[in-house]
Structure 1
Amino acid sequence: MHRSAPRLARILACATVPVVLVAGCSSGSDKKDDKNAGGSARPGSPSASPTVAAAKFSKLPDVCSTLSGKTVDDLVPKAQNKKGKALPSADTNTSASCLWSGLDKFDYRSLTVSLKLFRSDPGLGSGDKRAGEYAAQQASRAATAGKVTDPKTEKVAGIGDEATTVSTKEKKDGDDFRDQTVVVRTANVVITLQYDGAGYETAKAPDAADLLKDAKSAAKEAVGAIGKGAKTGA
């Protein structure tokens, strides 16, 4: 069969090119077929699974060891148990609380440290994000819990990654209580420190500003204990 010179030259040229370029050497009819084939539906590639940043901490430290004996003595004189009372928890690796309380003559003090750890989850977000949301909820609860009055909420710097203090008043059985709560997020762990005081009988109610100052100092200490004692890793 007779072939035109241009077509013959084209076929010979294509015989020497690398395989990856052979598609470019097809005839006009081949190009038409390729065009038709390109119009057919192709299965889409599977979408990538969502990823989140790994959580810094994977396990909580002993909650009753987050405050030193000196701090307990200063904040809770005559504490019933200086080592603290661990409150019930289904899993102390992710949620734990410790209570100290004491009565020095007619001056009552109660101190609670609660820890909550959040792991990163592709469906729920990073541990830090989840912890931040929980911290906001804790601050809101502290300002509205029970029959508290005169709530004062304030963002504070210098304690963990973010911190909020909540000061309230409450009357229990005729006695005036001053309640101070410090909610702190450090990475993917939330610390909720509650410090309450009251004066029974002839004793005066404690100064709220002094209680808050002590509560913030104790919260800073707890943040340091998390950094040293919590197990790191996602």
Structure 2
Amino acid sequence: MPRRAIRYATRGTLASYATTTALALALAGTLTACTGSSGADDGGDGKPGSASASPSAAAPGKYDTLPEPCGTVAVSQLREMLPGAAAAEDGDTPAPSDSASPFEGEASVTYDTDRRVGCSWKSATTLSTRHLSVDFERVVSYKPTVSDDEQAERLFAKKARKAGIAVGPASAQSAGETPDGHASPTDKKGGSDGAGGEDGSDEPGDAPEDSSSPTPDEDLTPRALDDIGDAAYIDDTLHTADSGLHRDITLVFRTANVIATVEYDQWVTDKHRIPDSKELQDKARELAEQLEGQFEED
């Protein structure tokens, strides 16, 4: 009898031990599962601190607003660039009594004035008509790894390529440059500044008179500029089509994440006299330098 009692007691003890072990293993499995879940959140592989760091966002652009465009050009500058408007302002030419000042300008219609603004002016005399416009575009990059300034630099380079002007290290190899480095500004009718009469012919005596007189060392070709903003270029195009004789100056410069464009042209009624390239370029550059200076002050 005592031996049987001992045998029964041993079996009960083993059974109790097995049950306790199973419970312990189940509890350990539950704890392991919880720990593994926490590790996945940390790094994806269960190892603390092994999470892959996301790339840091590029720095925002320097400018987050744009100026009021019609107020960026001083009246003194407008008087220089728009002699017809100056004459009307001084009462030398008749003007409607209810007309606004010719120097107020007309704001461009844009869908988002926080991203793009512009203004234009016009003056006319019996000899010629001049148009002036300024445009400001604030560039914003939507790529987290590309800054606003970098995106603006890319857009500026694209505009220069479209105009056929090399910017950067290759800027010396400007489009249309002759072997001696001095070519005439582009003539959309063909030929140089002195080509084409009223009907566009090259007959002797029909050539328009070129009123520009650059010095031998002066370059008036479309080219990159290195003294305005972070980068700049100027384009000079002469149109001699039957629709009218006019010279168009386009100067584009970039400062940080803003691209500014100055467009200045002169149409003449006397097709035998070409608008002065040097005069128009000098005035466009002077205005661009003033505009760039306003951004520097911000």
Q: Structures share a fold, TM > 0.5?
A: yes
Match of 1:58 in 2: 64
How many pairs are equivalent? 187
Higher RCO (CA < 8 A, seq sep 6+):
1
Of residues 72-81 and 100-109 in structure 1, the stretch that sits farther from structure 2 once superposed is 72-81
Match of 1:106 in 2: 127
- Displacement of 1:92 in angstroms is 1.2
Q: What amino acid sits opposite 2:260 in the alignment?
A: I
Match of 2:6 in 1: none
For residues 113-192 of structure 1, the aligned pairs below 5 Å read: 113-123=134-144, 125-142=146-163, 148=188, 152-171=221-240, 173-192=242-261
> Structure 2, unaligned stretches of length 5 or more?
1-44, 86-100, 166-186, 191-219
CA distance in 2 between counterparts of 1:137 and 1:83 reads: 32
RMSD of aligned residue pairs (Cα, Å): 2.6
Q: Is the contact made by 2:245 and 2:271 (CA closer than 8 Å) also made in structure 1?
A: no
**Bigger Cα Rg:** 2
1:111-136 per-position Cα deviation (integer Å, ceiling 9, x unaligned):
11010002354436111111112222
CA distance in 2 between counterparts of 1:73 and 1:89 reads: 27
TM-score, normalised by the number of residues in structure 1:
0.71
- Displacement of 1:55 in angstroms is 1.2
> Structure 1, unaligned stretches of length 5 or more?
1-40, 230-234
Q: Is the contact made by 1:149 and 1:168 (CA closer than 8 Å) also made in structure 2?
A: no
CA distance in 2 between counterparts of 1:203 and 1:110 reads: 20
Q: 1:149 to 1:219 in 2, by over 3 A?
A: farther
% of aligned pairs identical?
26
DSSP 3-state at the match of 1:60: coil
TM-score, normalised by the number of residues in structure 2:
0.56
Match of 1:216 in 2: 285
Q: 1:124 to 1:99 in 2, by over 3 A?
A: farther
CA distance in 2 between counterparts of 1:149 and 1:47 reads: 59
CA distance in 1 between counterparts of 2:241 and 2:118 reads: 23
Q: 1:199 to 1:160 in 2, by over 3 A?
A: same
- Displacement of 1:143 in angstroms is 5.3
Q: What amino acid sits opposite 1:176 in the alignment?
A: L
DSSP 3-state at the match of 1:50: coil
Q: 1:56 to 1:198 in 2, by over 3 A?
A: same
Q: 1:124 to 1:48 in 2, by over 3 A?
A: closer
CA distance in 2 between counterparts of 1:77 and 1:172 reads: 25
1:163-201 per-position Cα deviation (integer Å, ceiling 9, x unaligned):
111111123544211111111001110001111112114
